[in-house]
Amino acid sequence: MKARVTVTLKPGVLDPQGKAIEGALKSLGIEGVASVRQGKVFDIELAAKDKKTAEAALKNACEKLLANTVIENYRVEVLG
């Protein structure tokens, strides 16, 4: 079973890297960029056979390691 976990900074947490990327996009003349926030994507393969078990395992993985919930939110998608 394949899954994707997306970890993003919580709103309001300063993201210096996102700011630098935003500045670079603007200097490249890419129009209409209002703001950039950088995050992380994890593509994970699981042995779990059903979606519910997979989601539970991934939520556990996020809480224990993949996200620092002081500053980050996470989203789990089981792709099947």
Partner 1 sequence: MKSAVIVFPGINRERDMARALSLVSGREPEMVWHAATALPAGIDLVVLPGGFSYGDYLRCGAIAARAPIMDAVRAHAGKGALVLGICNGFQILCEAGLLPGVLMRNTRLKFICKEVHLRVERSDTPFTRGYNAGDVVRMPVAHGEGNYIADEATIARLEGEGRVLFRYVAPDGSLDPEFNFNGATHAMAGIVNEGGNVMGLMPHPENHVDPAIGPTDGRGLFAGLMEHGSRAA
Task: Provide the binding-site residues for partner 1, judged by CB under 8 A.
Answer: 13-14, 16-17, 20, 64-66, 68, 70-71
Q: Distance between CA 61 and CA 64 in Å, rounded?
A: 5
Q: Considering beta carbons, is residue 14 or 34 the nearer one to partner 1?
A: 14
We find the least distance from the C-beta atom of residue 52 to partner 1, in angstroms, to be 25
Smallest distance from the beta carbon of 1 to partner 1, in angstroms? Answer: 22
**DSSP tag of 46:** -
Distance, CA of 37 to CA of 26 (rounded, Å): 14
| Distance in angstroms (rounded) separating the CA atoms of residues 35 and 54 | 33
Output 58 or 66, the one with its CB closest to partner 1.
66
